[in-house]
Amino acid sequence: MNLLIAVPFVVPLLGAAATLLLRRAPRAQQVASAVTLAVVIADSTLLLAATADGTVVASQAGGWAAPLGITLVVDPLAALLLLVSSVVLLIVLLYAIGQDISGLSRAVPQVFHPIYLVLTAGVCLSFLSGDLFNLFVGFEIMLTASYALITQAPTRARVRASMIYTVVGLTSSIFFLTGIALVYALTGTVNLADVAEKLGAAPAGLRMVLALLFLVVFGIKAAIVPMHFWLPDSYPVAITRISAIFAALLTKVAVYAIIRTQTLLFGRDDVSTVMMWIAIATMVIGILGALVQDDINRIMSFALVSHIGFMVFGLALNSVAGIAGVLVYLVHHIVVQATLFLVNGLIRQYVGHTSLRSIRGLTVVSPLLAIFFFLPALSLAGLPPMSGFVAKVALFQAGVQAGGWLIYLGLTAGVLTSLFTLMAIFRVWARAFWGTPLPDMLEARAELRRGPDFVGRRLMAATTGTMVGVGLLVAAAAGPLTDIAFTAARDLLDGRAYIEAVLPEGAP
């Protein structure tokens, strides 16, 4: 078990070192990174199988018992997110490889693979870490890698976007470190389980301040309103593979951190009013932003912000059903966002940009592309029988169970947001996909078909198709997924299993 827990972040680091050494051999580098991620997927599957019944397993690095040493913990939530993230990471990597083979992208330097694997290690370490400081380290590994990734193939717009992104990221890191220092000052430990035991004795006011501080820290990274402004300015400008992985994973890692801290450290039984208002604001403001944008990537970025609101809504309920809904929503959203950004990358092949002003008739240019866009888009809006529908039903059911005027207000906002999402999507559909294609788009298609880079383009289309398929699979496997989500949610709200796994002999 020690080995299984260590693999998801040690193997990507080893892979990063190997791909750095293989810089002169692009093909070997591509194989090495794909194999690395495949190993992580296999390992996460084993971890999920081991924890699906609600078991929590802790591994103490160096043999130093918690709370002294570095603790790695895997519970159903961590295992589920590890599996979904690694699958998405591998598919996006294959898409990137296809793009590199096809020669369609501007030359992306060979450091892409090492940095991408370091990002993977950071994401996995964040999910696994059992103490606040390692959570910070995981976040920093992930963020530092993302600072480097966002400026790949630099243009003026990308450098500008990366400035905003880096400054915002560093700001949240400073708050994070401050929060850790305060927690340490209050409890004398940073081990999550130990902190959870000792925070109970702390004054309610202090607990409230710390809870809000951590909400702000992770809220900046999760782009909840009013800390969302940076996201639509930075994600859409990066190259496709990178905006896809950022949109799919980085905000969700922050949502994971919110879930972990707000349940384990600052757990409560009643509905959190602050978070409910944040959820409502995030949902509504995000989607209103999406409605007035003219660029598909920017529309998707605003939709991303608004749908983070759904997760905060479920979290605010503080009930097993609510948190289970959040977990199903997380899985659905990771997959759907990655798919949509990959599709936007395919659109860029034909027109070179994603602005709605000069895209017409994509259904004629490429019917397959239209299907690839349509299915995840409907899922995002939450139409049955897609995964988005399953996730939203789970959340709304949890909301109705809880009752109360604020929750009904939140539910109304949720339904309105879904409708507005549908509206935003149909705006894209009507303007970009319907109509007669512009002549230069047909020319671009003819040129692409003549091009010698057929294999690469096939791989890009195939990986996007696989991603769409994974989205459908999430809907098809909704039953088992909901079961795991409920198990994980019970574990999270109870907290006993987690604490006992980390501190078998009780807190010192």
Partner 1 sequence: MNIDGERQRESRGPEGSGGAPPEGWEAPRERWLSTVVRPAFGPRSVLLEVAARLLIPAILVLSVFLLVSGHDKPGGGFAGGLVASMAYVLRYVAGGRHELAAGMPTRPERVLALGMLVACGTAVLPLLFGAPLLKTFSYEAALPVFGDVKFASFLVFEIGVFLIVVGLVLSVVSALGARMEAEEEEAKAGRERARRLRRTGGGPR
Tokens of 460: 């890009």
Stretch that binds partner 1, among 7-15, 161-169, 356-364, 497-505 (CB under 8 A): 7-15
**Residues 8-27 close enough to bind partner 1 by CB under 8 A:** 10, 13-14, 16-18, 20-21, 23
Using the minimum distance from each CB to partner 1, give the nearer residue, 66 or 264. 66
Q: How far is the CB of 47 from partner 1 (least distance, A)?
A: 15
Q: Does 505 bind partner 1 (CB under 8 A)?
A: no
Q: Supply the minimum distance, in Å, between the C-beta of residue 126 and partner 1.
A: 17
By beta-carbon proximity to partner 1, the closer residue of 62 and 203 is 62
Residue 14 or residue 34: which is nearer to partner 1 going by CB? 14
Tokens 């004629």 locate to 364
Cβ 179 to partner 1, closest distance in Å?
25
Give the residue with the Cβ less far from partner 1, 15 or 345: 15
As given in the structure block, the two tokens for residue 419 are 């409708």
Give 20 or 216: the residue with its C-beta nearer to partner 1.
20
Task: Please identify, using beta-carbon distances, which residue of 20 and 288 lies nearer to partner 1.
Answer: 20
Q: Scanning residues 52 to 111, which ones bind partner 1 (CB under 8 A)? A: 59-63, 70, 72
Give the shortest CB-226-to-partner 1 separation in angstroms.
Answer: 36
For partner 1, which is the closer residue by CB, 13 or 492?
13
Nearest distance, CB of residue 433 and partner 1, angstroms: 44
Closer to partner 1 by CB, 147 or 277: give it: 147
Residue 249 DSSP class: I
Determine if 137 is a binding residue for partner 1 (CB under 8 A).
no
User: Which CB atom, from 66 or from 285, has the smaller least distance to partner 1?
Assistant: 66
User: What is the total count of residues that contact partner 1 (CB under 8 A)?
Assistant: 21
For 118-155, b/e burial (b = at least 16 CB within 10 A) is bbbbbbbbbbbbbbbbbbbbbbbbbbbbbebbbbbeee
Residues within window 307-326 making contact with partner 1, judged by CB under 8 A: none
3-state class (DSSP) for residue 155? coil
Among the listed residues 314, 313, 292, 312, the one whose alpha carbon sits nearest the alpha carbon of residue 303: 292
DSSP per position, 61-86 = GGGPPTTTS-EEEE-HHHHHHHHHHH
Is 40 a binder of partner 1 (CB under 8 A)? no
Minimum CB separation of residue 107 from partner 1 in Å reads 17
504 binds partner 1 (CB under 8 A): no
Instruction: Give every CB contact of residue 66 below 8 A, 6+ residues apart in sequence.
Output: 58, 60, 130, 131, 191, 193, 194, 502, 503
Closer CB to partner 1, residue 32 or residue 347?
32
2 binds partner 1 per the rule CB under 8 A: yes
Q: How far, in Å, CA of 164 to CA of 132, rounded?
A: 26
Please report how close the Cβ of residue 16 comes to partner 1 at its closest, in angstroms: 7
Question: Long-range contact list for 53-58, CB < 8 A, 24+ apart?
Answer: 53/487, 54/487, 54/488, 54/490, 54/491, 54/497, 55/497, 56/491, 56/497, 56/498, 56/500, 56/501, 57/1, 57/5, 57/501, 58/130, 58/501, 58/502
Contact 335, 470 (CB under 8 A): yes
What kind and span of H or E run contains 59?
Answer: strand 57-60
CA distance 502 to 71: 7
The Cα–Cα gap between 334 and 238 comes to 18
Closest among 12, 13, 53 to 35, alpha carbons compared: 12
- In whole angstroms, the minimum distance from the beta carbon of 17 to partner 1 comes to 4
Choices 3-11, 42-50, 132-140, 319-327; region in contact with partner 1 by CB under 8 A: 3-11
Torsional sign, CA 2, 196, 52, 86: negative
Q: Does 3 bind partner 1 (CB under 8 A)?
A: yes
Q: Which residues bind partner 1 (CB under 8 A)?
A: 2-3, 5-6, 10, 13-14, 16-18, 20-21, 23, 59-63, 70, 72, 114
